[in-house]
A = this chain, B = another copy of it.
Amino acid sequence: MAEFEPSSPDPRSSLRSKNKVRALQDQDLGFASSSVVEDDIEQFAEESGVDEEDIERWIRAIRRKGQAIFYGPPGTGKTYNAERIAEILTGTSDNVTTIQFHPSYSYEEFIEGIRPEYDDADDTLKYPTKKGRFVEFCDEARNSDGNYVLIIDELNRAEVSAVFGELMHLLEYRGKEIPLPQSDREFSVPENIYVLGTMNTADRSIALVDYALRRRFAMIEIGPDYDVLRTFHDDTGHDVDGLIETLKEINEEAIGDEDFYLGITYFLESKLDEYIEDIWVMEIEPYLEEYFFDEDEVVDEYRWDAVKDDVRP
């Protein structure tokens, strides 16, 4: 049953009373006063080339909302960024779990359900109502002090609305208990859990996440960050200015639609000079062929022979 608070001095508590506990945490663990986190952010920015301000904005948003989705085309480092942020939020990778959604992922496996289990001891099949991975994760976090992060890679590859079930409500109303239909258990999502998803914008055949679900998440757009490419190759000594020019041209002039931009992780390769032709022919060209499947002439403009003088490091 819902908590009833007839009145409250904090205006926020009246409309968003369920978020009160974390709201206070946000103040206590305020960004400015946390020098360890500051150091981690700086290091992440330096190593990766991601803008420090971006990282700060992401963390601020994730703390405020409790969950975020990193979205963008393939090859832009969404999963990598989510993992680095998770480590900063928890201070230890011990509290980070990564799972991968896919069309076979079910509500029963994520929340709860009767799942057959074979007992080798007496050769019988048992059907306990087993906690799903998310409920298990919450129970672990509930009895602990630190922060916990669940990374859901390729979140939109499952039928999210069905797999999430009650989470639609509970992610927003942290701490509130509602009954799970199978076990009748009253379940809540603790305050110290963060959920980070990644979502690929180039696969339109996969159901995108709907408006109501989106509203529960901070939506963090990850496009191709050319500075990441530059920073990486500062250490390898390859000149990637020509490559970046060509990628920009392909993305902004030929493709145009940000959801389908070519990513930059294809080229995060120490021996770029040795492999760039392979990468171009067997990764970039097939991508362009699929995208421009009925415009061969556009693909031809960016085949290896046409661009090699520009992109070769």
Contact = CB atoms under 8 A, between A and B. Distances in A.
Interface of A: 1-4, 6-8, 10-12, 14-16, 23, 40, 43, 47-48, 57, 60-61, 64, 68, 71, 73-75, 77, 79-80, 83, 86-87, 92-100, 102-105, 107, 109-110, 114-118, 120, 123-129, 133, 151, 153-154, 157, 159, 161-166, 168-170, 176, 178-179, 181-182, 200, 202-203, 205-208, 210-212, 214-215, 218-221, 228, 231-232, 234-236, 263, 265-266, 268-270, 275, 277-278, 281-283, 286-287, 290
B168 A154 contact: yes
B109 A118 contact: no
A26 B276 CA distance: 16
Nearest to A136: B184
A86 B1 CA distance: 11
Contacts of A104: 107, 162-163, 165
- Choose among A10, A74, A94 the residue with the greatest number of B CB atoms under 10 Å from its CB: A74
A258 to B, nearest CB: 8
Contacts of A212: 74, 154, 157, 200, 202-203
B124 A165 contact: no
Contacts of A235: 11
Given A2-B87, A7-B43, A153-B168, A211 B287 contact: yes
A103 B218 contact: no
A240 to B, nearest CB: 13
A116 B127 contact: yes
A268 B100 CA distance: 33
Given A74-B211, A278-B60, A109 B181 contact: yes
Contacts of A205: 207, 210
A92 B270 contact: no
Contact of A200 (B1, B211, B219, B263): B211
